Structure 1
C-alpha cells in the first residue's frame, strides 16, 4: 500500500515538473492543434480552460476509446470513472459524484433519460456517431443546470448542421469484438443542397454475453465462470437533421430514435427494454442588433420509456419521462471589459415508474417544471483573467399522490487565472451551488427489481447545497504539457441511498426478496487531486501520457460515501508516422477499502493493459483505416468500486476488436 501511494505521489510530482523533453528547436505552439469546446459559452479551446477544466475526445482518440456505453468510453479520463452496471449501462462518474450531480447533454441539451436515477439505466446518447465528447466543469456548467455539481458530459453529434459542406463528407465503420462476439456498424453523412445542409447518422450494435477472466462471484471459486449471464446488448440508433444556412446564421431541426435491449447481470437476471424518440430545433443569428454578437435558441422534446423485464420476459416496472426543454442565449459584446453570455432555460417533464404487475409504484407520476436564468462573464484584468457565473432556478415537483414541493435555487462561481510566466498558469475557482432533490429522492416508495432494492424517498427533503474550492496549475504550450488540480467540495444536506439491511417483499412487507434502500440526507465532504502530463500528444512520432487521480467522499457524521472510486495511476505511449499509428496504455487502480456503512467487501486493485494499432491507406478520395484494439490484455479480473454489482459482475476479460473505417 505504501508503494502504491508513493507511485501516485511520484506521478503528481512528475506532472508538476517543468522539464521539457522535446527538442530545443521544436515549435512550441503549432504541435498540438486547438480543439474547440462547444459547450463553453466562449467556444474557447480545450487547453485554454483552466477555470473550466475540460477534456475533449474526438478523432482517432475517440474511436480508440469508444465502448458499448458512455461510461466505458470515458472511464480512463482524468477524474472520471464509471458505474459499470454491465455492458449496457455504464454512466460517467466525475470526481466521485454521480447521478443527478453529473449532467448528460446531447448537443448542449439535456439527454432527458432516467440514467441519473439508478446505475442500471443506460444513457440515451450514442457515442459511436459522436463528432466529439466533452467533459466540462466550472462556471460554464452553470449554463446547463445548477445541479451539475460534478460537471457535465456533452455528446456532440451535429445532427443539426451549422455549415454547408462543399461536397458530401462522412465516415462509416464496422467492428467485431471477440469477448462478446460483438458486431457494431455505424455511419454519418453530411451534405448540402444549395443552402440546405443535411445530416444523417445511424448505429447498430449486437453483442452476446461477454467472457470473464475467472469466476463470476468475487472470492468464490465455486461460482460460475466462462461468460457473464445477462450481459448482452442489442442497440439501434438513427437520426436525421437539416438546416438552412445563410451568412447571418442558420436554423434547423432534427429527429432521432433509439432502442436498446440489454441485460442486467444481477442474480435476478433482469433485462431493460429502452426506447426514446427525440425532436430538436436550433438556430443562431449573428449580430442580431447592436451590442449582441450572437443570439442562439434551442428547443427539444423527448419521449423516453423503458420496461424492466423479469427473467420470464414480462414487464415488472415501466419507466417513462416526457420532457420539453427550451433555452435561449445572447452573447454580448464587451462592456467595460466584460464579455459574456446570458439567457433563460425552461424544462417541463412528466416522470413515472409504475408497476406493471398491480403492486406499489416505484415512483408516482410526477410533473416537474423549472425556469432558470443564467449569466456567465469573463474579463482580462491586466495579466489576470476573471471568470464568473450566476444562475437562478425555480423548480416545482407535483406528484399525483404526495406533497407538492417548490425550490428556489441560486448558484454562482468565480475564478481567476494568472499566467505567472509564459506558457504557465495558476487558477483559483470558488463556487456555490444548490440542487433540488430529484423526483425519485422525494417520492420513491416501491420495488426496483433491477437493483434488487425497495426504494423509499422522503417528501420533506431540503435542497442540497455545495461549496467548492479548486486550485489549478498548468503548462499549456510546447510538446510537453501538464496540469494538476486539487479540490474540496463541502456539502450540506447531501442526498444518498442507504441500504439498511432490512429485507422486504415486493409490497414493502417483511420478506427476503429486496433490500430496503432509504434516501437520506447528511453533511458530507468530497476532496481530491488529479494530475496529467502529456508529451507530443497529437504530433507525429512518439508521444506519451502520465496521469494520476484520487478522491475521498466522507459523511461528516462518520463513514464514507457509497461507491467511492479507487485511486489510479496510468501511463501510455504512442507512435504516429504517416499511415501507421499505434499505442499502449496501462492503468493501475489501488484496492478500495473506503466503504460506506452498508458496504461489506473491499474492491481489489487491478492493472488494465490496452493497446491499439491502425493503418490508413488512400483509396481515391477515401481514407480507409484498418485497426485492431486490444483491451484488458492481461486478462485480469477487474472489479470496479463504483459499481453496485462489483461482487458479482466483473468487467470483460481479454478482448480484441477488429475493424475498418472509411472516411470521405
Structure 2
C-alpha cells in the first residue's frame, strides 16, 4: 500500500511538473522546431479502430516500427516486458508469456489479427505462444477487462499480434521489409521478412521467420543458493523457431474477402534439472471478409473464421516423448457496425469456439484425432488432461457516444461455455453461463487533457486444465490435480486514469482495483512420484487447482517528452500491483514487483540512439508456499542505428545491448526464478531494409 501511494504521489507530482514544463517546451518549440507530428496508429483490436489515447474500456499501448524492433525478444513475453503493467512468465528462452497486471495464463488472451491463437500456452508457463512478433506490423496491448469483445479468456487483458496476413488494401508495387540479426549471449541467429504485393484486385502477402539460439550465458550461478550449480551457459536453454505464412484477398470498393495459411515449428529446452525439451507444431487457416454498407443504417459487416491444428510434445532428456498436448479448434466471429443512431455508434456480434483438447501420454495420444463421441475400448494410460470437447457461443454489444467533451461507452456480453470430457474418463461435464458488462467515460476537460473512469464486471469459466488435470507434467515437474467442481470467476474492476495527450510533453497515470470472486490459482503440495503417490524424493510436486476470493490493485504512470520527434526524447514510467487472497489467505503466487524506469533517446538525420534503465524492487510478498524472495535488479539497455540508402532502398544498421551492467535478473513472475536467471549482457547486431 505504501508503494502504491508513493507511485500515485509521484504520478501527481510528475503531472504538475510537466504542465509547467509543457508550457516551456511549447514556447521553445515555436522558435526552435516545428510542432511534433505523431505517427498514425490505430488499435485494430477494438471495434472503433481508435487511437490509444481515446480508449475507454481498456487503456491501450501499441508497439510498432523501430520501437517494436528495438524491444523484440525471443518470445512474446520478453518483447512486451518493459511496458507499464506488463511482465513476463520467463520460462526459459523458448516460452515466455505476457502477464498483465498480475494476471496470467487463461486470463490473458493472445490474438493474431483479432482471432485467438488457439494454442496451449494458457495451460502452463512452459508452453510457448504460437504467434510471432518478429513479422508483426504492430503488437497491441489492452490492459484491463477486454472480455466484452473476446470472451472469458480475456478477463485480464488482450495482446493482439497484427501481421496483416490477409491483405485489406492493394499496394501499387511490391513492398515489405526484411531483417537479419545476431546475438552474442546465445549465438542467436534470426532472419525475418514480410512482403505485400498485388495482381489486379488480388492482394498477396507472405511472411516468414527463422530463429536459432544456443544455450544462453548467465551472469553468475543458475541457482543463487547453490555454488555448485551451472555457470557460464544455462544448460538446456536453447530455442529454435520457424514460421511461414501466406495470404491472399480479393479487394474491391465494397470490401474484401480473403484467406491465409500459416505454420509454426518450434523446439526449445526447459532449463531445469530434468533437461526436458518441447517440440511444437501448428497449422492454421483463416478466412476474413468485410462488406461495406451491407444494409441500410449499417456501416459494415465483418466475419472471421479461424481453424488450428496444434500439437506439442514434451520429451525426456534422452528424446523419449512423455506427454503430447493437442488442440484442434475452430473459432468464428461476426461483427455488425451500425451508423450513428440517436448519437450512438456501436458494434454487436456473435462469437463461437469449438475445441478438442487433450494432454495424454505420448503412446496413447492418437485418441485425440477420433471424432467419434462413443467410448473407447483401449487403455489411455494416465492422462494429464483427458480428451475434452469445449463449445462456447457468445453475443456481445458495444456502444459509444460523445456528449460534448464527454465520451461514454457501454457494453455487455452473454456467453455459454460447455466442457465435455470423454465418457471413459468418468469426469462430469460442466456448463457455465457467463455475463459481462462495462460502463466507462472519458472527459476531455480541457484541450489535451482527459480524465477516464471505467467500471466493469467480467466472468470467466474455469479452463479444461483447471477442471480435469490429473497427471504428471514433465516440463514443470508438477503433478497437476484439477477440481471438476470449480465455480466461475467473477471479476469486478474499477479503473481511473488521467492523461495529457497533446504537445511535446505527455503523460498518463492509471489506478485500478480488481475484486475477484472464486479466483482460481495453483496451490503447491507434497512431492510425489509419476503416479501421484507421496514420495519425499519424488520427481514431481503436487499442484492443486484451488479457489478463493482475491483482490488485485495497483497503479501505472508514464511521462514522455518529444517521444516521436527529432532531437532529444525522454520517457519515464513506473508500475506496481499487489494480489492477495482475501480473508487471510495470503498473497497470490507469481506476482510482479514494483518497477520504475526511464529512457533517453536522440534522433538526428540518419542516426538514432537510445538508453534505458529499469529498476525492479525485491519481491518479498510471497504466497504461503513460496520461499524464494526475488532480489532487486537493475536492467540497462542501449541501442544505436544508422540508416543509409543503397540504390532505392533504405538500409538500417543497428546494434542493441541488453543488460549492459550484466546484472543477475530474476523475475518474480517466473516459476524458474530460483534456477534460471535471464541472459547476461547481450550484444545484438543486425541490418534491416524496407522496400
Give the match for residue 24 of structure 1. 27
| Partner of residue 428, structure 1 | 453
One of 451, 469, 483 as aligned partner of 1:458: 483
CA contact (8 A) 2:7 2:574 kept: no
Q: Secondary structure at the match of 1:35?
A: coil
Aligned with residue 176 of structure 2, among 170, 173, 180 = 170
Equivalent residue runs for 1:4-153 within 5 Å: 9-10=9-10, 13-15=13-15, 17=17, 18-19=19-20, 20=22, 22-24=25-27, 26=29, 30-137=36-143, 141-153=147-159
Distance 1:557 1:267, change over 3 A: farther
Which residue in 1 is equivalent to 2:420? 398
What corresponds to 2:516 in structure 1? 491
Distance 1:447 1:372 in 2: 34
2:507 corresponding residue in structure 1: 482
Q: Which segments of 5 or more consecutive residues in structure 2 lack a partner in the other structure?
A: 364-379
Equivalent-residue separation in structure 1 for 2:314 and 2:153 (angstroms):
27
Q: Distance in 1 between matches of 2:301 and 2:6?
A: 51
Q: Which residue of 2 aligns with 1:557?
A: 583
2:640 pairs with 604, 610, 613, which one?
613
1:624 alignment partner, one of 643, 651, 655: 651
Task: Deviation per CA, 1:268-326: give whole Å up to 9, x if none.
Answer: 11101000000001011111111110111000100000000011111100000000000
Alpha-carbon spacing, 1:7–1:103, altered in 2? closer, same or farther (3 Å)? closer
Q: Is the 8 A contact 2:245 2:261 kept in 1?
A: yes
CA contact (8 A) 1:34 1:47 kept: no
| Aligned 8 A contact 1:372 1:392 in 2 | yes
Larger displacement relative to structure 2 (523-532 or 43-52)? 43-52
- Alignment of structure 1 residues 576-587 onto 2, 5 Å: 576-587=603-614
CA distance in 1, matches of 2:393, 2:646: 52
State the 1:510 CA deviation: 1.9
Find the aligned partners of 2:229 and 2:540 in 1 and give their Cα distance: 22
**Counterpart of 2:466 in 1: which secondary structure?**
helix
Aligned mates of 2:479, 2:615 — CA distance in 1: 35
1:376 to 398, 401, 417: 398
How many angstroms does 1:267 deviate by?
1.5
Does the alignment pair 1:505 with 2:511?
Answer: no
More off after superposition, 617-626 vs 593-602: 617-626
User: Equivalent residues in 2 for 1:296-445 (5 A)?
Assistant: 296-356=302-362, 359-400=381-422, 401=425, 402-445=427-470
What is the deviation of 1:577?
Answer: 1.3
Specify which of 544, 547, 553 is matched with residue 521 of structure 1.
547
Aligned equivalent of 1:228 = 234
Deviations 1:118-140 (A, max 9, x none): 00000000010001000014576
Q: Which runs of 5+ in 1 are unaligned?
A: none
Between the two proteins, the alignment pairs up a number of residues equal to 663
- Is the contact between residue 617 and residue 631 of structure 2 (CA under 8 Å) also seen in structure 1? yes
| 1:146-161 matches, cutoff 5 A | 146-161=152-167
Give the match for residue 276 of structure 1. 282
Q: Which residue of 1 aligns with 2:566?
A: 540
Shift of 1:14: 1.6
Q: 1:9 to 1:635 in 2, by over 3 A?
A: farther
- Kindly indicate whether the alpha-carbon contact (under 8 Å) linking 1:16 and 1:483 is maintained by their aligned counterparts in 2: no
How far 1:142 sits from its partner (Å)?
A: 1.5
TM-score (norm 1): 0.98
Counterpart selection for 2:494 from 456, 469, 472:
469
- Indicate how the Cα distance of structure 1 residues 7 and 394 shifts in structure 2: closer, same or farther if over 3 A, else same: closer
How far apart in 2 are the matches of 1:173 and 1:580? 18
How large is the RMSD of aligned CA atoms in angstroms? 1.7
State how far apart, in whole Å, the 2-side matches of 1:140 and 1:564 are.
21
Matching residue within 599, 619, 622 for 1:592: 619
CA distance in 2, matches of 1:610, 1:325: 40
Structure 1 segment 173-192 matched on structure 2, within 5 A: 173-192=179-198
TM-score by length of 2: 0.94
